Amino acid sequence: MTTTVAESTRTALTKGARNQRVIRRVLNVAVGIVAALAMIPIGYLLLRSSEKSINEIAQLLVRPKTLDVLLTTSALVFAVLFVTVTLGVALACGLHFVRLPMRRLLVIPAVLPLAIPSYVFTYTWIALIPQFSGFMAAVFILSVTTLPYVILATLSGLRTVDGAQIEVARSLGLSIPQTFRRVVFPQVKGHISAGALLAALYTISDFGAVSLLNVETLTVTIQNMYRASYDRSAAAVISLVLIAFSTLVVLADEKVKQQSPDSDVVRLYSTKNSLINRAGLRFAVIASLAVFSLVAVVIPFFVLISRFVSNRVAIEWGELARTSISTILVAALGALIALVLSVPLGIVLSGAKTRIGRYAQRVISIGHGLPGVVIGLALVSIGSKLGALYQTTFLLAFAYALLFLAKAVANMSSSLSRVPTNVKDVAATLGMNQWQVVKKVVAPIAAPGIGLGTILVFLTAMKELPATLMLRPTGFDTLATQIWSAATINRFNEAAPYALILVLIAAVPTFLISRPDKSDRTFIQENARSQK
């Protein structure tokens, strides 16, 4: 009898190990397919660039026009980073450390600008001030657009700071700036870097705002070369320059993170901070938030509503409804594709580190730095050879999925990693098969985070402009393309209904992502992990 039990146990263990090996192989194949799909734009750019000779590439890279555009892009990125990091860290520290009335509710106006695309910000300010244009205007718009990334990322880091260390620093007589520099900053600089990375990548890839403001960056140059010439090899070469620039930004972020303490370790020893109760600091924080809300929320909404009311051109409500539905459907399809593609890599990254997982994550991280114009450039060329897929909503949704896949993967892996291994082991010992473990144990714990990642992809896909302009089917319009079509010819009143509807629709997922009662869900931190 003992022999029979031992043999059956060995058989069960052997069968379990065999099943695990099969699952790992299937996952590795699926991850390889996802990585190959993510490599499509980069592969296309390399192939197109190879059509140019080395001398032609060198002449294109060192010509004064290219160097001037690269300098402009670099200056814009550094200026936006300086503004967003300085103001974002200050506001986040005020929201976290200063005793404020309704502290959680005050986060909402700091987050709400995420619902407004940069080109809508630009449209509202040009409509308000017709002379609004140039480099400094671009710095202003992109700083307002990306400041919430730094605020939320810094807030997520401040929640992991060991409060006991702050109390010790205060007892030793350190001032507030000294305490921040010596105690707080070393623990949150990785989070600050994550928010700055998102702000930098957004600035590098932005097309709508800089184009409307007559600032020629790398993205605008690529779009203009694509439109004005049949020589797309030159556009591919400039796109590789943009990728190289984005890669440098990602590497800089990685270097900062390597020097940062593990936030999970710090969290174990965290204690509740005692809030600073100073009237001067309280007034400064509330006044700063009020000014930011004025320029980032109140003025844009005032312009949109006033232009909407004063619009003398009859609004085509049927067209507005069709465009809104088209925007929601194609963005939802893109988010669904990104969700499906993120599953295998999310599972692999949530477990033990593997070589194929690290490779695929690196590829997707590089793809996250690609602007929509580069993705569109690649898929237009490839799609034109596929016949049935060319100029379809599926190809447009697939472009959205590639653009924002890193966000979905980061939320998928971080959500799955929250499921304790011992809980899954206990469920298995109770006789549950793998499907039952996933259904009854993994899904309830991981689903909220995965849902937030899908909502985030949906939100960003709705606002995407350059890829939509390149890949939309004939006669297919989204709210973004309608805003762009009217704003580029200074018909601001006609653009107002589409812009207002886009902002109102985007405000819903923005609130779901950052609502005060779910402030512990630090989605910025999780999305930044996709860059590691």
Each residue of 95-132: pLDDT tens digit? Answer: 888 888 877 777 778 888 887 888 888 988 988 888 89
> What integer pLDDT is reported at residue 523 of this predicted model?
41
| Cβ(530)–Cβ(407) below 8 Å | yes
How confident is residue 213, by pLDDT bands cut at 50, 70 and 90?
very high
Q: Does some domain include residue 101? A: yes
Name which residue leads in pLDDT, 94 or 439. 94
pLDDT of residue 369 exceeding 70: no
The candidate with the shortest Cα–Cα distance to 334, out of 205, 229, 219, 464, is 464
**DSSP letters for 78-141:** HHHHHHHHHHHHHHHHHHHHB--TTTTTTHHHHHGGGGS-HHHHHHHHHHH-TT--SHHHHHHH
Q: Any idea what DSSP says for residue 35?
A: H
CB environment 65-89: b (16+ within 10 A), e (fewer): ebeebbebbeebbebbbebbbebbb
Whose CA is closest to 437, among 421, 448, 424? 424
Q: Give, as one character, the DSSP assignment of residue 206.
A: -
Instruction: Let me know how many helices (H) and strands (E) the chain has, helices first.
Output: 28, 0
Between 338 and 171, the higher pLDDT residue: 338
- Sole residue written with tokens 């309704």: 102
| Angle of the 232-258 helix axis to the 40-49 helix axis, nearest 10 | 130
Q: Write the DSSP symbol of residue 418.
A: T
| Residue 206 Ramachandran class (φ > 0 left, ψ -120 to 50 alpha, else beta) | beta
What's the mean pLDDT in 47-52?
85
Q: What is the pLDDT of residue 398?
A: 92
Higher pLDDT, 390 or 146: 146
Percent of the chain with pLDDT over 70: 81
Which of 495, 209, 197, 238 has its CA nearest to residue 369?
197
The whole-number pLDDT of residue 532 equals 40
Whether 499 is covered by a domain: the verdict is yes
212 against 350, higher pLDDT: 212
Any domain includes 334: yes
Alpha carbon of 159 to those of 56, 289, 291: distances in Å? 52, 20, 25
Neighbours of 135 (CB within 10 A): 15
- Residue 114 DSSP code: G
Residue 178 lies in a domain: yes
Say what the pLDDT of residue 273 is: 57
DSSP string, 492-528: HHHHHHHHHHHHHHHHHHHHHHH-GGGTT--HHHHHH
CB contact set of 118 (below 8 Å; sequence gap of 6+): 141, 142, 145, 202, 206, 208, 209
What mean pLDDT do residues 505-530 have? 56
Residue 459 has a pLDDT of: 85
Using alpha carbons, list the distances in angstroms from residue 341 to 335, 337, 400.
10, 6, 12
DSSP 488: T
Does residue 232 have a pLDDT over 90? Answer: no
Residue 527: predicted pLDDT: 46
Q: Give the separation between CA 83 and CA 225, rounded to whole angstroms.
A: 31
526 versus 462: the higher-pLDDT residue is 462
CATH code where residue 484 lies: 1.10.3720.10
Enter the tokens of residue 100.
């404020």
The CB density around residue 305, as the number of other CB atoms within 10 Å, is: 12
Examine residue 261 and state whether it is found in any structural domain, yes or no.
Answer: yes
d(CA 51, CA 385): 18
Which SS3 state, helix, strand or coil, does residue 98 take? strand
> Among 429, 344, 469, 423, which residue's Cα sits nearest to residue 35?
344
What pLDDT band is residue 13 in, cutting at 50, 70 and 90?
A: very low
Query: Residue 428: what pLDDT?
Result: 63
pTM of the predicted protein model: 0.79
Phi, psi of 402 (to 5 degrees): -65, -40
pLDDT more than 90, % of the chain? 13
Q: Name the pLDDT band for 337 (thresholds 50, 70, 90).
A: very high
Answer yes or no: is pLDDT of 415 > 80: no
Residue 13's alpha-carbon distances to 1, 8, 17, 19, 527, in angstroms, are 18, 9, 6, 10, 37
* 60: CB partners within 8 A, 6+ apart: 52, 66, 234, 237, 238
Q: How confident is the model at residue 264 (pLDDT cuts 50, 70, 90)?
A: very low
Q: What confidence tier does 422 reach under pLDDT thresholds 50, 70, 90?
A: low
Decide if pLDDT at 268 tops 50: no
Residues in the chain: 532
450: left (phi over 0), alpha (psi -120 to 50) or beta: alpha
Q: How many domains does the chain have?
A: 1
500-393-508 Cα angle (round to 5): 30
Which pLDDT band holds residue 517 (cuts at 50, 70, 90)? very low
Average pLDDT, the chain: 79
Most confident among 136-150, 226-240, 412-426, 461-475 (mean pLDDT): 136-150
Structure tokens at 321: 């409804």
Give the residue among 487, 282, 467, 490 at the shortest CA–CA distance from 377: 467
The reply to whether 6 falls in a domain is no
pLDDT at 138 over 90: yes
Quote the pLDDT of residue 525. Answer: 44
Note the pLDDT of residue 433: 61
Q: Does residue 420 lie in a domain region? A: yes
Q: Which of 153-157, 233-237, 242-246, 489-493 has the lowest mean pLDDT?
A: 489-493
Asked if pLDDT for residue 286 goes beyond 50, the answer is yes
* Sign of the torsion formed by the C-alpha atoms of 408, 411, 417 and 420: negative
- CA nearest 161: which of 53, 260, 263? 263
The more confident residue out of 473 and 531 is: 473
User: Who has greater pLDDT, 108 or 423?
Assistant: 108
Q: Give the mean pLDDT of 506-516.
A: 68
Q: Look at the alpha carbons of 142, 144, 147, 148 in this order and tell me if their dihedral is positive or negative.
A: negative
Q: How confident is the model at residue 514 (pLDDT cuts 50, 70, 90)?
A: low
Per-residue pLDDT, 15: 54
The pLDDT of residue 85: 93
The answer on pLDDT for 494 being more than 60 is yes
| Residue 457 falls inside a structural domain | yes
**Cβ atoms of residues 299 and 129 within 8 Å:** no
What is residue 515's predicted lDDT score, i.e. its pLDDT? 55
Q: What's CA 120's distance to the chain center, in Å? A: 18
Q: Quick one: pLDDT band at residue 248, thresholds 50, 70, 90?
A: confident
Residue 420 has pLDDT above 80, yes or no: no
Domain that holds residue 104: 27-271+281-531
239 has a pLDDT exceeding 80: yes
Which backbone phi and psi does 139 adopt, to 5 degrees? -60, -45
Per-residue model confidence as pLDDT tens digits over 170-209: 767 777 777 777 777 777 788 888 888 888 888 988 888 9
Is residue 382 a contact partner of residue 48, using CB atoms and an 8 Å limit?
A: no
Torsion sign over Cα 398, 400, 402, 408: negative
Tell which wins on pLDDT, 418 or 62: 62
